[in-house]
Amino acid sequence: MISFIPYASFRFFCLIAVLLLPVIILGLMGKRNLLYNDCVAILMTFLIFAAQPAQLISFLIFIIWEAVLIRGYLALRARKNTGLYFYIAIVLSVLPLFLVKLSADVTSLSVLGFLGISYVSFKSIQMIIDIRDGLLKEVPLSQFFRFITFFPTISSGPIDRYRRFKSDMDQIPSALTYRTLLYHGLNKIFLGFLYKYIIGYLIHKYWMGSPLLDSNTFSSILLYMYGYSMYLFFDFAGYSHFAIGVSSLMGIQTPENFNKPFLSRNIKDFWNRWHMSLSFWFRDFIYMRFVYTAVKNKWLKNRYLISDIGITVNFLVMGFWHGFMLHYIIYGIYHAIAFILFDKFERWNKTHHLWAKDNPWVHGLSIVITFHVVCFSFLIFSGRLNFLW
């Protein structure tokens, strides 16, 4: 069967151009046909997984599993709001993702996996947390499935939030608003072509593919580091442009993923600009939850220490999420350390004023330093240094 991996082939773009034509025409008239959109969603789900029927089955089982969990937890929560139910629900909803990530070490588990399992897991976990917090009182199954199987973002995000998604679904854009959305969407898709298929491709083929980078010398590893970091950005930012652009055409304003990350002036700033939908998800649902719980239960007196532990947990989980491999975990720890050190420096600088913030030269230097700290982390991430350990 022909594969329709999102945004990976010319074929895919032709297919969605045809399928979305009615959506665009209706949109320009200020209308939306839910039935048609649902049919497209179902068709796309099948086509995306068509090349691997095993993945399709895993995916269908997965969404039913998550639907049962969310509806079940919602019912239990309505009766009694205890932490126990919440934690059980969270563990059960993370379980499939955990097993699949574990398959990096235990390969037999990989049969459970399917393209985009992380991103759909993040979406369901966040719904359970919203239910716990009383922010979600009802989840109609149709809405849940529309949210989870939203095909433009199914394979690699950006990770939307249910309540935000639902408000876009409830609000049919006027003809005028849709015209802006259409422009915005098409523009994003063209930017995506530039990023992923021109810049990213050229970097991958001629920079990273250069035989000069094969040896394990300092200079070739350094060149690889820059090349890989650029490739990572242009490839993923290009992909995100596609996902956001196609969402736009469907009248959904999927959140941004990148905001000039290589112009960040410190590591904290970087994580507000790089893979934003993921880092915000981790910030809100891991770091903040941890700090909140630790403070509320008075686990520790020192709030800085609590924050540092929160950051460590946050980046360790992120490392493990990339895969149960040593270099991903080192990548997580590296970012945790960078983040904590920067935090300490920033506090120290408040009283000592060593690092002037408004000076353009200092600003420039900060960007260069941050860029290198980040690029080095990507070098670890790439596995290029695996020969060291």
Partner 1 sequence: MKFNRFGPMILAVVLVCAIIFMPTSIERRMVSSKDMANAAQSLDPHVFQGILAQQKMLENKQYLPMYGSSELLRLDRYHPANYFKVKPDGFTPFLIGRGGMYSLVHFLNLATTANELKGHKIVFILSPEWFTKTGLDPLHFKPNFSKEQAYHFALSNTISPALKEKVAKRLVQFKFIRDEGTLGRVLEDVAYPNRRSPMLKIADQFRAYGTYKILTLHDLIEMHRIKPGYKHAQYQKPDFRLASDNWRQLKQSAREMAIQKTRSNCFHIDQPLYDKFIRHHLNKFKNYRASESYGQSPEYADLQLVLDLLKEKHVDALFISVPFNGKWYDYAGVPKQRREIAYKKIADEIRSNGFKLADFTRFDSKPYFLQDTMHIGPMGWAYIDQSIKKFYDHN
Q: Binder to partner 1 among 190, 206, 292, 299 (CB under 8 A)?
A: 190
Minimum distance from residue 263 beta carbon to partner 1 (Å)? 25
Window of 180-188, 254-262, 318-326, 354-362 that interacts with partner 1 by CB under 8 A: 180-188
294 scored as a contact of partner 1 (CB under 8 A): no
# chain residues binding partner 1, by CB under 8 A: 7
210 scored as a contact of partner 1 (CB under 8 A): no
Judged by CB, which is closer to partner 1: 74, or 186? 186
Minimum distance from residue 102 beta carbon to partner 1 (Å)? 36
Judged by CB, which is closer to partner 1: 197, or 376? 197
Minimum distance from residue 186 beta carbon to partner 1 (Å)? 6
Q: Binder to partner 1 among 5, 104, 109, 186 (CB under 8 A)?
A: 186
Give CA–CA dist 91/145, Å, rounded: 21
Minimum distance from residue 7 beta carbon to partner 1 (Å)? 17
Q: Binder to partner 1 among 81, 82, 187, 259 (CB under 8 A)?
A: 187
Minimum distance from residue 154 beta carbon to partner 1 (Å)? 25
179 scored as a contact of partner 1 (CB under 8 A): yes
Window of 134-142, 154-162, 175-183, 242-250 that interacts with partner 1 by CB under 8 A: 175-183
Report the catalytic residues: 322
Query: Which residues form the interface with partner 1 (CB under 8 A)?
Result: 2, 179-180, 183, 186-187, 190
